[in-house]
Amino acid sequence: MSATADLAAGTRGDSELARCLRAGRFAVTAEISPPVSADPREVVANALPLRGIATAVNVTDGAGAKAHLPALVTAHLLLRNGIEPVLQMTCRDRNRIALQSDLLGAAALGIRNVLVLRGDDPGAGDQPDAKPVFDLDSRALLAIADRLRNRHQLPTGTAVGGAPQFLLGAADTPVDPPPDWDPQGLVAKVAAGADFVQTQFCMDLEIVRRYAARLVALGIAPKLRVLIGVCPLPSARSARWMREKLFGTIVADSVVARLEAAGDPREEGQRICAEFLDELSRIPGVAGAHVMAPANPEVIPAVIAASAVTGARRAAVRQ
């Protein structure tokens, strides 16, 4: 039985995110970047406003190819404080032995949600001479995590105790699909064990509708749960910069125009993001949204709370 079929049948995963996706409720995840700090109170204080607001909170792993408090430690701190984490694991910094050990550590700590990523190249960070590892790619790491949860084995065949349980995620970049679109990379991630994907920013509802419709037509969604990346854009200038400089980012001209005309662009960006959450909850094939605000993360709780899809009002996904 495939990983996605297991999720649908409710035989694996006891995280709130897994239960939400399995029940067809619209999931809203958020994201924090661990601080450059050894003080656990700092990361907890940053994340507490999301408790009870977001379904789960992503913890980035060396975001921007820079050193931060480790993602595994941060995820554990969140879990201890009643915040469900999504542990991001990148292939950039560790070889397969270390990555397998971290997966076992995550399972031992009760961390159920794992998002597997390639990771930014060190050349993009503040220590460009750092040596990248990339012993595995994201699909290979997904397959190892899937083997741990299904067969309770390492790739060597060594038995693993404790029956690790994971809800496995991957990343995707939405596109306005041409007639011959064949998302082979996404299909390969599903085959490797991905249960859900979180996408790059896509602030264009018409493109989301066409992208999701094609995933449904191809039989990928709703079997694979798709969470669309959104952002409370602080200004038209920021929107243009993201569109031009941040790979895969899509921002509709109408969104830029609204920000341009707004008396308070920051407030308007938050309003637009909340509206997007409501609209996304009505699109077949879209299982949720992933809210990211790298420049102003403090606004995320208010944006999620302002939408009509939070708490008991979360709409059932029409799939």
Quickly list DSSP for 115-162: EEE----GGGSS-TTSPP--SS-HHHHHHHHHHHHHH-B-TT--B-TT
pLDDT digits (tens, 9 = 90+) for 205-258: 999 999 999 999 999 999 999 999 999 999 999 999 999 999 999 999 999 999
What pLDDT score was predicted for residue 130?
92
226, HSE (Cβ side, Cα atoms, 13 Å): 31
Q: Is the pTM of this model over 0.95?
A: no
For domain 3-313, is the CATH number 3.40.50.2300? no
Q: What is the mean pLDDT of residues 25-53?
A: 94
Output the CA–CA distances (angstroms, integers) from residue 27 to 81, 89, 233, 281, 314, in the order listed: 20, 21, 21, 9, 8
pLDDT digits (tens, 9 = 90+) for 293-318: 987 889 999 999 999 876 433 444 44
> Do 96 and 135 meet the contact criterion of CB atoms below 8 Å apart?
yes
Q: What is the mean pLDDT of residues 62-73?
A: 89
